[in-house]
Amino acid sequence: MSGEETRPTVLFVEDEEAISEPFSAALDREGFEVLNAATAGSALEAFDRAEPDFVLLDLTLPDGDGRDVCLELRKRSDVPILMLTARGTETDRVIGLELGADDYVVKPFSSREVISRMRAILRRAGTVAPTDQPYRTDGLEIDFGARRVTLAGDEVALSRKEFDLLSALAQNAGEVVTREDLMAKVWDVNWFGSTKTLDVHIRALRKKLGDSATEPRYISTVRGVGFRMAEPEPGAS
C-alpha cells in the first residue's frame, strides 16, 4: 500500500452537510484525501493552500455561484473539476462545461457514480500527462509520467510538492534552477516574500533521499542562487 502522502487530494465544495458528510466518508474509503469547503470563498482559499488534485464543485453555494468558482479555478490551474448540479437543465450542463469543468453530475447522485466519473477523468488526465523518459542517477530513478520515485529500487513516498520540486530540478539536471524559478514552477506564484517554504521542502526531500546538504549526492545548493540536480547517468534523459 502506498503512504498517506500519495493519496490524491480532493477539494469537495458543497454546503449541504447531508451530502458532504457521507460522501466525504465514501471518498476517504476509496483512497482519496478529502478537503471540505462549504462556501465559494473558502473553496478558493483552500485551493490556493492545498493545491488539490481534483475539485468536486457544487453549483449553488451560499455566498456565490459555483460557476464563478469554476472560472476562478480555471484562471489558476488545469485541475480536473467535476461540477455537481441540482438543476440538470441542458443550459446548466452546457454552461458547466463551457466554464472549463471536465464533467458534471446531476443531483441526486450516488457516491459510486461520482467516484467512477472521477476515476475516468483522472485516467484521461493521466493519458495526457508527460511521458518523459525517466531520470536516473546513482540509484535514484524518477518516472515523471507515473510520478514515482525509487531509490535503489525502493519506492520513496513524496508529497505532491516534493515530487513537483524534484521534477523541476531533475528536468533541468546539471543546471542551476533559481529559487524564484522553483517558486514559480512548483508553487505557481511570482514570489516576492520569503522562500522559507522552499527550504523546508528541499530539506524534506534530502531527508527522504538520504541526501546531505554538505556532501550532496543529488541536490546541490548554489548559495544565494538556487539548487542544482546531479547530471543523469548516460543513456537516460
Instruction: Give the whole-angstrom CA distance, residue 87 versus residue 65.
Output: 13
Number of residues that bind Ca ion (CB under 5 A): 3
- Shortest separation between residue 17's beta carbon and Ca ion, angstroms: 10
Q: Which residues, 38 to 67, sit near Ca ion by CB under 5 A?
A: 58, 60
CB nearer Ca ion, residue 37 or residue 169: 37
- Shortest separation between residue 109's beta carbon and Ca ion, angstroms: 13
- Shortest separation between residue 68's beta carbon and Ca ion, angstroms: 14
| Residues counted in the chain | 237
CB nearer Ca ion, residue 15 or residue 180: 15
Instruction: Give the whole-angstrom CA distance, residue 47 versus residue 58.
Output: 15
Nearest one of 51, 17, 53 to 32, comparing CA atoms: 53
Query: Can you read off the three cell numbers belonging to residue 184?
Result: 514559480
Applying CB under 5 A, which part among 11-19, 145-153, 185-193, 206-214 lies near Ca ion?
Answer: 11-19
CB nearer Ca ion, residue 57 or residue 115: 57
CB nearer Ca ion, residue 86 or residue 97: 86
- Shortest separation between residue 54's beta carbon and Ca ion, angstroms: 18
Instruction: Give the whole-angstrom CA distance, residue 4 versus residue 8.
Output: 9
Instruction: Give the whole-angstrom CA distance, residue 16 versus residue 47.
Output: 19
Q: Does 15 bind Ca ion (CB under 5 A)?
A: yes
Q: Does 36 bind Ca ion (CB under 5 A)?
A: no
CB nearer Ca ion, residue 20 or residue 167: 20
CB nearer Ca ion, residue 5 or residue 15: 15
Between the CA atoms of 139, 143, 147 and 153, what dihedral angle is there, to the nearest 10 degrees?
-30
Q: Which residues, 146 to 185, sit near Ca ion by CB under 5 A?
A: none
DSSP secondary structure string for all residues of 16-72: -HHHHHHHHHHHHHTT-EEEEE-SHHHHHHHHHHH--SEEEEESEETTEEHHHHHHH
Task: Please give the residue ranges that form the binding site for Ca ion (CB under 5 A).
Answer: 15, 58, 60
